[in-house]
Structure 1
């Protein structure tokens, strides 16, 4: 039985799909780099700009808050008015922010640059929406998984590259931001020349009131999460911000139920698969940052003073202990895509949960040997990559075409929220559990029990992902993404809400 030879048109489409996936993967990798880029150099920034620890923490907080505000708005804007123009504009803003951060001679100017870099987080949901238009359905899970996998890889790559660029005695933290500028320009050129113009535009009015109320609610939620350690978890500012977040969330829901063209369709937002994917996003984002920060702090502990740790420099911590897991994240992403295609996202999310629980459990039980720390990091890296491959597939199979940008934007925020929670919890645990008897003049150092607890909580987080996969996504067997119209599962949920 013979098969027809591929036509020139089919060959051209296959090549186009490849270059589109490459361009969007590069853009997603660059935006993920922006989130973790300054983590190893906060001390250098603090010393160079002569500011306090509390103030310099805004270099990371500003990016998180900016992403929370702009990602849903720009995701929806891309659905309405064109994804490529929105992508190009967002990448242009990221380039400008990177240049400002590179040239900044004061903390406010550096924070401004970081705010502009944070707005680029909207690239990820926009990229997934472009893939849904341009990639054949049978290839779509793999393409989404590859783009998603670059998120974990980019986060790890930023830590390693920053360590390399700031390893000398006269290190300048601005080199890291110039590197970010170069990557941002490269991503912008790739999207301009390799990504085709948008075919689907929904049009309509932009729900600025919904965007404003959602942005305020997210600001009030993420601000105390990221600053609670400095403010005090029971302080008036922290508790007041959480209370304000609850109030503004209620206001946002009310607004979205009243406006004619809401930013977020509440039916889509509470649709069970979408809701479960967002909960999984929080937990996987938490796990990723718990691994990055926990391992980074652990291996830099001075063994002579603490009795544990590896006396590693920032460079060694990044290259020897974090880079292998980041590479595995990238290599695992196409495998995750194939598994999503053949077995469904629920199955892949279950594998991610098992890997994550095993990896963190290994770290909690044995973090005294180099092989254990690196080996566990490899397993956690694969877990994060599989989790990132599964979540967009769940969402794409569960929402109509015109809501894919905003749905993935909300999922991106859930992962960022999880990362913020992970950073806050790790910082709080390590600061609260310190070694009691240290030589005079030595600053407080975390006790080993703090690291054990951190890794134990990471294992619990992935165990909860297993519960979501097993119970929350029951009945979600595989992606059914149909070009140009809504999915069956979402349509059924709208017709028969009780069934979901």
Structure 2
């Protein structure tokens, strides 16, 4: 049994009996956690569709900041969110994040200048790291036998979001412009706040009465943010530009300094001992790479669909946004359905073997898309193969994290996975655009991409997936939440578990068989 972190708190949220059965309360709890988690994915799609309207409204050439501001703030705050969730309870932190997200989107919606819009988006970025807490909360609140299934359903529901979001985005932008998108996001985040406030109990606190490593959080967050910013701007600045190299160097220096800061800190913001364990490092890296492909490739495929078809100039399909949304329903339904099926299979099958199979199918699918993407039927068939694999990947990735960390380390594992997805996503996107640009035609200062470039970005996705598969082969046997909780209960019954540390203002919960398994 892995030792608990420093001081697990009283159990504020006893879980239901570990019989593996769904109840109405658990279904509502899953909805309350899945809604705000998948709102992040919906917000990305809606925001991308609103970008052109923002640029035209404010006549700005800096519209890239409309999305980049939110990403940078989210990256900077993620390490703080991980620690605060363990120290004060995940529910409290989630509510604060959603309140700020609602306020930020509303401010951006009413803003009369572009820079005020960016200020609102920066505040909304506080909501960005929500996924770092939601999957950890599932580990805390669900019966052990349902943890992997609930995590899989939450992860795979991104396919359901991808089905409706393009249609919703078109309706909002066509009728109300970018303000319609921002008001919708503000309202949806407010609904998420109500769901969590009413349906989600507070989670155990795994750190109480300890200090907070503000310096370590700032150094780590600023280092990651510098790298993401440099990679995001590198394509427009040029990779040899002093600005790109300067931001990359600043990020590298900050990340190097972080390791020295954490070694000297009495209360490190991230437990480097946990992250340096081989199973954890392999699972997080492989999970980050594979999910980056699963989440990023559909957005890059939109370029193929929407760019015009001009023989000898542009090899796009020339579809309208509405036509692309209609066609993409097929593979998004496949992704969602596969994820639901796999989330149920995770209760009985080895998650590693399911994960390996999903990576193989996703790599094969994107290889096929690279060869066959010249029309509706070809793209539907090959993308459905790729999204069978993607559905497996997004449903199984949370189970990988659950299987390599203990319950009190779940917040750290989920948070690091989110940070890696952001970092890998920026690098992957920059690499894909570099591939497209290498085989493009420039007409009136506009780059149009050739078919060879489109093929290679899909093959690039397949190669990254194979790298994730290679790393995954070295992940050892995963632990099972059921067995871990049973072992914890046995240890507690024998007097082997440390006594809970009371939190100020709360009476210690009695240690009984009904709650011993949930104290960390």
TM-score for the superposition, normalised by structure 1:
0.87
CA offset digits 1:237-282 (Å, max 9, x no partner): 1112222222111111111111112111111112122212221233
CA offset digits 1:333-358 (Å, max 9, x no partner): 23222233222221122122112112
Q: Given that residues 145 and 481 in structure 2 are in contact (C-alpha distance below 8 angstroms), is that contact kept between their aligned partners in structure 1?
A: no
2:48 matches 1:16: no
Using the alignment, how far apart are the partners of 1:316 and 1:30 within structure 2? 23
The 3 A distance-change label for structure 1 pair 9 and 462 is closer
User: How many residues of Structure 1 are paired with residues of Structure 2 in the alignment?
Assistant: 472
Match of 2:232 in 1: 226
Instruction: Give the deviation of 1:393 after TM superposition.
Output: 1.7
Match of 1:455 in 2: 458
2:497 matches 1:464: no
2:484 matches 1:482: yes
Match of 2:87 in 1: 80
Please list every run of 5 or more consecutive structure 2 residues that lacks an aligned counterpart in the other structure.
1-15, 490-520
Equivalent of 2:319 in 302, 312, 325 = 312
Instruction: Give the deviation of 1:360 after TM superposition.
Output: 0.7
Q: Given that residues 357 and 463 in structure 1 are in contact (C-alpha distance below 8 angstroms), is that contact kept between their aligned partners in structure 2?
A: yes
Equivalent of 1:38 in 42, 47, 71 = 47
Using the alignment, how far apart are the partners of 2:376 and 2:404 within structure 1? 43
Match of 1:26 in 2: 35
Please list every run of 5 or more consecutive structure 1 residues that lacks an aligned counterpart in the other structure.
1-6, 488-500
Q: Given that residues 286 and 469 in structure 2 are in contact (C-alpha distance below 8 angstroms), is that contact kept between their aligned partners in structure 1?
A: no
Using the alignment, how far apart are the partners of 2:284 and 2:435 within structure 1? 25
Please state which structure has a larger fraction of its residues in helix. Answer: 1
Match of 1:494 in 2: none
2:257 matches 1:257: no
Match of 1:342 in 2: 348
Match of 1:274 in 2: 280
CA offset digits 1:205-229 (Å, max 9, x no partner): 2221111111111011111111111
Q: Given that residues 283 and 472 in structure 2 are in contact (C-alpha distance below 8 angstroms), is that contact kept between their aligned partners in structure 1?
A: no
Which SS does the other structure have where 2:484 is aligned?
A: coil
Name which of structure 1's ranges 425-434 and 182-191 shifts more when overlaid on structure 2.
425-434
Q: Given that residues 153 and 326 in structure 1 are in contact (C-alpha distance below 8 angstroms), is that contact kept between their aligned partners in structure 2?
A: yes
Instruction: Give the deviation of 1:132 after TM superposition.
Output: 1.4
Using the alignment, how far apart are the partners of 1:202 and 1:364 within structure 2? 49
Match of 2:11 in 1: none
CA offset digits 1:79-126 (Å, max 9, x no partner): 111111111111111111221222223222222222233322322121
The 3 A distance-change label for structure 1 pair 207 and 400 is farther
Name which of structure 1's ranges 194-203 and 410-419 shifts more when overlaid on structure 2.
194-203
Q: Given that residues 20 and 145 in structure 2 are in contact (C-alpha distance below 8 angstroms), is that contact kept between their aligned partners in structure 1?
A: no
Equivalent of 1:89 in 89, 96, 101 = 96
The 3 A distance-change label for structure 1 pair 479 and 51 is same
Match of 1:181 in 2: 186
The 3 A distance-change label for structure 1 pair 99 and 106 is same
Q: Given that residues 35 and 63 in structure 1 are in contact (C-alpha distance below 8 angstroms), is that contact kept between their aligned partners in structure 2?
A: no
Q: Given that residues 430 and 450 in structure 1 are in contact (C-alpha distance below 8 angstroms), is that contact kept between their aligned partners in structure 2?
A: yes
Q: Given that residues 341 and 479 in structure 1 are in contact (C-alpha distance below 8 angstroms), is that contact kept between their aligned partners in structure 2?
A: no
Instruction: Give the deviation of 1:484 after TM superposition.
Output: 9.7
Equivalent of 2:424 in 418, 421, 424 = 418
